[in-house]
Amino acid sequence: MHILITGGAGYIGSHTVKKLVKTGHQVTVLDNLSKGWRAAVTNARLVEGELANQRLLCELLQAEKINAVMHFAASSLVGESMQCPADYYANNVTGSLILLEAMREVGVPYFVFSSTAAVYGELVEIPIPEDHPTIPTNPYGATKLALEEALPWYYQAYGLRYISLRYFNAAGADPEGELGEDHDPETHLIPLVLKTALGQAAEVKIFGRDYPTPDGTCVRDYIHVTDLAQAHILALEALAGGVVPSIYNLGNGNGYSVLEVVQTAEKVVGKLLPKAFTKRRAGDPAILVASAERIKRELHWKPCYSDLQTIIETAWRWHQKNPLGYAKY
């Protein structure tokens, strides 16, 4: 198939591009490089452009005879979304609807959507199954949920076949060392911890120690980015095989607290790291842990790299080799 990957120069997108190309698919990346990196796209054509440019989208879908779209391009920071909800609605809702409109106009049948655990909000059940209530605690989750809610109607009216993948905490780096996680500014826990180990940050800030969790710090389900990438291949194959549109969680079912992440990182880097407790970050739910039984059962997804130590080891290898991230290229 020929697949358009929006946001393919970003963290999860670039790892998925690599896996798709390896599997024998043709890939075109659309990215405005606001968050992504040219150097992260090494084996596919990169088109620099905006999601909101419907004409560009239609031309691209038509000229490249695209069979499927994987839609990674989005604003995706919980904290930032609390400050700038309008940007999140513009990028994640309006931008995505323009993409769907272009797909409808050209007749592209398959859509894999990057959704998030942030659609759930505070929990009534752990691990979280896909049919858990969705009451987001931040605009990021709300905007992803808004698109998810549109998809069944697009399927019913226009036959758009979709799979929505709700990522928990994507982490780690390409086990072959070619790709990694590089956000500017960096806000994610694991890269920040590793930057502290490299001496690029003074200390690890731990946001909140009064959550209702065993050690008082937030619990998250960290899932290796290469395992996420593999789930996209399975989703694509399932869509092509005629599976009914679905929503799947992508996590590994184990929760780790912020303190546990820091302690595991200390083991991996071989030294203790300076830490400071600060106040809670707005919008953060206390616990997010997935049940990924549905995708394991239905699509035979099997995470291979997702124990915390492997996640941090792969990330550490990339950060050591690329202390300036992609910026040096």
Please state the closest distance from residue 77 (CB atom) to ligand UFG, in A. Answer: 6
Please state the closest distance from residue 226 (CB atom) to ligand UFG, in A. Answer: 17
Give the pair of three-digit tokens for residue 158.
């226009």
Name the active-site residue from 140, 248, 256, 305.
140
- Beta-strand ranges (E) seen in the chain are 2-6, 26-31, 45-48, 68-71, 110-116, 161-167, 169-171, 204-207, 219-220, 222-224, 246-250, 256-257, 275-278, 287-288
Please state the closest distance from residue 105 (CB atom) to ligand UFG, in A. Answer: 29
Q: What residues from 1 to 30 belong to the interface with ligand UFG (CB under 6 A)? A: none
Picking from 34, 94, 98, 89, the residue whose alpha carbon sits closest to that of residue 69 is 98
Q: Which is nearer to ligand UFG, 67 or 169 (CB)?
A: 169
Out of 73, 100, 103, 117, point to the residue binding ligand UFG (CB under 6 A). 117
Give the pair of three-digit tokens for residue 42.
């090494």
Picking from 108, 229, 216, the residue whose alpha carbon sits closest to that of residue 171 is 229
Out of 25, 195, 209, 281, point to the residue binding ligand UFG (CB under 6 A). 281
Please state the closest distance from residue 280 (CB atom) to ligand UFG, in A. Answer: 7
Is residue 118 part of the contact set for ligand UFG (CB under 6 A)?
A: yes
Q: Are strands 169-171 and 256-257 parallel, antiparallel or unpaired?
A: unpaired
Q: Are 57 and 267 in contact (CB under 8 A)?
A: no
Q: Which is nearer to ligand UFG, 71 or 161 (CB)?
A: 71
Q: Which is nearer to ligand UFG, 25 or 188 (CB)?
A: 188
Q: Are 235 and 245 in contact (CB under 8 A)?
A: no
From residue 194, how far is each of 14, 91, 249, 259, 319 by CA, in Å? 21, 30, 27, 14, 7
In the chain, the amino acid numbered 242 is G
Out of 116, 252, 264, 322, point to the residue binding ligand UFG (CB under 6 A). 116
Out of 16, 169, 196, 291, point to the residue binding ligand UFG (CB under 6 A). 169
Tell me the C-alpha distance between 34 and 12, whole Å.
15
Is residue 91 part of the contact set for ligand UFG (CB under 6 A)?
A: no
Q: What residues from 183 to 222 belong to the interface with ligand UFG (CB under 6 A)? A: 187-189, 192, 205-207, 218, 220
Out of 88, 162, 168, 248, point to the residue binding ligand UFG (CB under 6 A). 168
Tell me the C-alpha distance between 326 and 324, whole Å.
6
Catalytic: 140? yes
Q: What residues from 256 to 275 belong to the interface with ligand UFG (CB under 6 A)? A: 258
Is residue 311 part of the contact set for ligand UFG (CB under 6 A)?
A: no
Please state the closest distance from residue 166 (CB atom) to ligand UFG, in A. Answer: 8
Tell me the C-alpha distance between 129 and 296, whole Å.
13
Cis ω before 127 (30° cut-off from 0): yes
Q: How many other CB atoms are there within 10 angstroms of residue 183's CB atom? A: 17
Residues classed as catalytic = 140
**Footprint on this chain of ligand UFG (rule: CB under 6 A):** 76-78, 116-118, 168-169, 187-189, 192, 205-207, 218, 220, 258, 281, 284, 288
